[in-house]
Amino acid sequence: MIPIRRIGFASFDSGDIEKSVDYYTNVLGLSLLDRVGGTAWLACPGDALSVVLNASQHPAGEAAHCGQIGLQIGPQDDLAEVEHHLRGLGLSPERVSDVGPGVAAQVPVTDPAGVRVCVHNALPPVPRAATCGVVPRKLGHTAFFAPDVQKTVEFYQTALGFRVSDWIGDFFVFLRCGPDHHTVNFLHGPVRRMHHIAFELNDWTHVKHACDELDRHDLHLSWGPGRHGPGHNIYTYHTNPDGIMVELFTELDQMSDESLGWFDPRPWHKDRPQRPKVWPPGTPTTNFWGVARPVGINEQRETNAPR
């Protein structure tokens, strides 16, 4: 099996692509790589491609739909080996070429949560002109509701080589494919849909800058800043004009040496060493700094899971 190295992109169907493009370029500060017909490709400075936007017939006011993510193998790795491995598991991946900027070819497969996962070779970041806005360094992770979290975890481990970093109870799992504590997350929910998309910022100062940028565009935080337990990242959450919850984070735990089995020590860790574990639901797991998840954040309407 060729292991996944990092996340590539997330693809959204948006009912108002003009509004979506405006948010990702002028507020988040991603570079617009290309725009053809009803599709726009955008990237953070550290990515070859971070976000794909597709114009769709979604009713006005309905949240954009994320049905596809890209996951990257190494630049020299062979996609044919990925296809062979997935076929050996009884799956039916069909290679697609000429995908668009940042992706030369990809092998799509649908995970048990219903998300289309497109495996492709990593390409180097694209040189970019200066832009305004937050300008995250890279796409960090995606989180989805999944009706069967355990089955979804098994798929990511077996088919794609992910490792479990942490659980909250038995309903929220964090999976890594490289040094970052998590690249894909899944939490129990009755229907499949995106929980949030997360972009990495440089440091705490960048978080402050991001909050001021959001305010300048009349977008305000729904939660944070705070520090999560799993991953120990400083976080903020806001809902973008597409109705998607967006996390901007920094200081995510790193496991720079998998053979050790613990995350690189940090002053705020309470376990030494900090190994993958099961965290208890509720505060302080969700926020070391003490402010619990506010009632009214959209994920609470569609999950039965306690937290």
Of 66 and 103, nearer to Fe ion (C-beta) is 66
Does 247 participate in binding Fe ion (rule CB under 5 A)? yes
Nearest to 123 by CA among 36, 33, 1: 33
The residue among 107 and 175 lying less far from Fe ion, judged by its C-beta, is: 175
CB 247, min distance to Fe ion, A: 4
Q: Name which of 131 and 239 has its Cβ closer to Fe ion.
A: 239
Shortest-Cβ-distance residue relative to Fe ion: 198
Site string for Fe ion, 167-186 (x = CB under 5 A): --------------------
Nearest Cα to 240, choosing from 141, 134, 117?
A: 134
Whether 27 and 219 have beta carbons less than 8 Å apart is answered as: yes
- Cβ at position 187, least distance to Fe ion in Å: 11
Binding letters toward Fe ion, positions 214-243, x by CB under 5 A: ------------------------------
Report the alpha-carbon distance of residue 272 to residue 295 in Å, rounded: 33
Identify which of residues 83 and 247 has a Cβ nearer to Fe ion in the complex.
Answer: 247
The torsion of the CA quartet 171, 176, 180, 183, rounded to 10 degrees, works out to -70
**What is the closest distance, in whole angstroms, from the C-beta atom of residue 180 to Fe ion in the complex?**
11
99 versus 198: smaller Cβ distance to Fe ion: 198
**Shortest distance, CB of residue 228 to Fe ion, whole angstroms?**
8
The minimum distance between CB 249 and Fe ion, in angstroms, equals 6
Q: Which residue do the tokens 């959001």 mark? A: 214
Residue 198 in the binding site for Fe ion (CB under 5 A): yes
Using CB under 5 A, count the residues that bind Fe ion.
2
Smallest separation, CB 196 to Fe ion (Å): 6
Convert residues 249-278 into a mask of x (bound to Fe ion by CB under 5 A) and - (unbound). ------------------------------
Contact between 16 and Fe ion per CB under 5 A: no
For Fe ion, which is the closer residue by CB, 32 or 219?
219
- Binding residues for Fe ion (CB under 5 A): 198, 247
